[in-house]
Structure 1
Amino acid sequence: MSQLAQDFQDFLQHARVQQRLSPRTLRIYTDGLERLQALLAEAAIDARALSIAQARRLAAVLHREGLGPKSIALLLSVWRSTYRWLGLQGRVALNPFDGLRAPKAPKPLPKALGVDDAVQLAAYAPEAPADPVLEARDRAMVELLYGAGLRAAELVGLDVQASGQAQGWVDLQSAEVHVTGKGDKRRSTPLGQAAAEALRAWLVLRPQRAAAGEVALFVG
């Protein structure tokens, strides 16, 4: 049995006796250390001399092999704990896995409405509309949200016309919506015909709801 394997077995004995880890956790630790030992052997790396750069390359190997972020994070946690104990025992000079983190899991995109559902939503109108002005406003908002792909914050930040202070505005002539998105980054997105028609209908009625000097596109 090599000294490397003995180091790992000593740590597992410590985890079993001193930390009193559950059998399931010990199995996870054992599997993780067997994986590390195999990677070290393949790369001809002495475990006691493992450098930070080499540790990063080992993590990169896991990523290339197709392991997910959670699986990589679990292995790194096992290895980090092992080397922390080896350091306390004076067997290694540093913990090469300190500060090393797994890649972040991609965040799923929000699920968009299907075309049929979006059409039904945009065409929806109450049987007895209480206020046709607000109905026109809401229709324009829905059309812009879906048709121009705006975020809610970008929608409510639209002004009725362009200015140096405006966070966003709609240019009907060029059929574009200009908004300030995340990180204060400006972007432009095309305006569809249905959204443009709904917006024109709202602009005709907007003065009935907008106070004097109101700059926001959508009021009320």
Structure 2
Amino acid sequence: MYAAEEEAVNLFLRYLREEKRVAERTAISYQSDLRRFADYCKAKDILQWTDVQASDVRQYIAARHKDRISSKTIRRDLAALRSFYRFLLKSNRVAVNPALHVKAPKAPKRLPKVLDVDQMAGILDAEAGSVLEIRDVAMFELFYSSGLRLSELVMLDDVDLDFAEGFLRVRFGKGGKQRRAPLGSKAAVAINTWLKVRPDFSTPALFISSAGRRLSQRTVQLRLNRWVAKLDFDEHVHPHMLRHSFASHLLESSQDIRAVQELLGHSSVATTQIYTHLDFQHLASVYDKAHPRSRKARESEEKSRE
């Protein structure tokens, strides 16, 4: 591009640093993104910023996607272009922002990590060695038994549990929705064990600290980290993995996606369908290991002959 076009980029970078006060790392990233786009434009004989059309930006983004650049990086490319053209508009250097309505390719949905049944048993069946660990095991049992969100777990009160009916009431679900969730027998036993040793404070909260305060979400996370570290667990575990494992194991056994949707408190079955992909991964793994025509099964058989 011409010197005037280069100067526009330099002015934009100065504007970011001096007026917007962006981090130097961000300014350098934007500079790199804009130079890459400028090189693309030169190759297409587009020599002025005013000549860039929305179709040119779309083709550039498509080329980046074709080169298997991550969706996250492409979104940053677009952010740099939109910000740059907003600056050019503000300084009356261009009449339109060609990147304004261009969309980045959707990022592939990441499947939630789950623990298998044996891993869950390892976490839940370990013996507690203190009052706080008795509480923690009760929390983890309830998490997995009822498929709760972390926010729902910490907001439970004593009165929300119905041991006779085997249910609990979730009063603070997502979007303010209430629902009933199952209370498994092992969770009921673990909670009763906790209630027998729980410090005597006048608080309605089911799970409290040694000082009598309702536990925070962060505290539950830290306690889970401490528990799995004590067990020498070789995988990072976060609280929602227990909820994900509940959903995956239940769906794998029942094949009833509507029931799992209700138990999880999802407003749409589309949200629950991600667990069907997890189930298929399990089936695909079984196929790879067992089917005589699968590549992995053949490789295993060949190794056994060596």
Normalised to the residue count of structure 1, the TM-score between the two structures is 0.55
**Match 2:76 to one of 52, 57, 73:** 73
Query: Any gaps of 5 or more consecutive residues in structure 2?
Result: 15-28, 213-306
Q: CA deviation at 1:211?
A: 4.2
Report what 1:93 is aligned to: 95
Question: Aligned partners of 1:211, 1:17: CA distance in 2, in Å?
Answer: 63
Contact 2:169/2:180 (8 A) holds in 1: yes
Q: CA deviation at 1:143?
A: 0.5
Amino acid corresponding to residue 206 of structure 2 in structure 1: L
Does residue 165 of structure 2 align to residue 210 of structure 1?
no
Task: Name the SS of the counterpart of 2:161 in structure 1.
Answer: strand
Quick one: structure 1 residues 148 and 58, their matched pair in 2 at CA, closer, same or farther if it must change by over 3 Å? Answer: farther
Query: Any gaps of 5 or more consecutive residues in structure 1?
Result: 1-7, 42-46, 162-168
Amino acid corresponding to residue 77 of structure 1 in structure 2: A
Report what 1:32 is aligned to: 37
Question: Aligned partners of 2:194, 2:178: CA distance in 1, in Å?
Answer: 25
Does residue 187 of structure 2 align to residue 198 of structure 1?
no
Question: Aligned partners of 1:18, 1:101: CA distance in 2, in Å?
Answer: 26
Number of equivalenced pairs: 192
**Match 1:159 to one of 153, 157, 160:** 157
Matches within 5 A, 1:1-220: 8-14=1-7, 28-33=33-38, 35=40, 68-78=71-81, 80-81=83-84, 84-85=87-88, 88=91, 90=92, 92-97=94-99, 111-126=113-128, 129=129, 136-161=134-159, 169-179=160-170, 180-203=172-195, 205=196, 209-211=199-201, 214-219=203-208
Contact 1:48/1:92 (8 A) holds in 2: no
Q: CA deviation at 1:175?
A: 3.3
| Structure with the bigger percentage of helix | 2
Contact 2:167/2:183 (8 A) holds in 1: yes
Larger radius of gyration: 1
Question: Aligned partners of 1:112, 1:191: CA distance in 2, in Å?
Answer: 21
Identity %: 31
CA RMSD in angstroms, aligned pairs only: 5.1
Amino acid corresponding to residue 217 of structure 1 in structure 2: L
Normalised to the residue count of structure 2, the TM-score between the two structures is 0.43
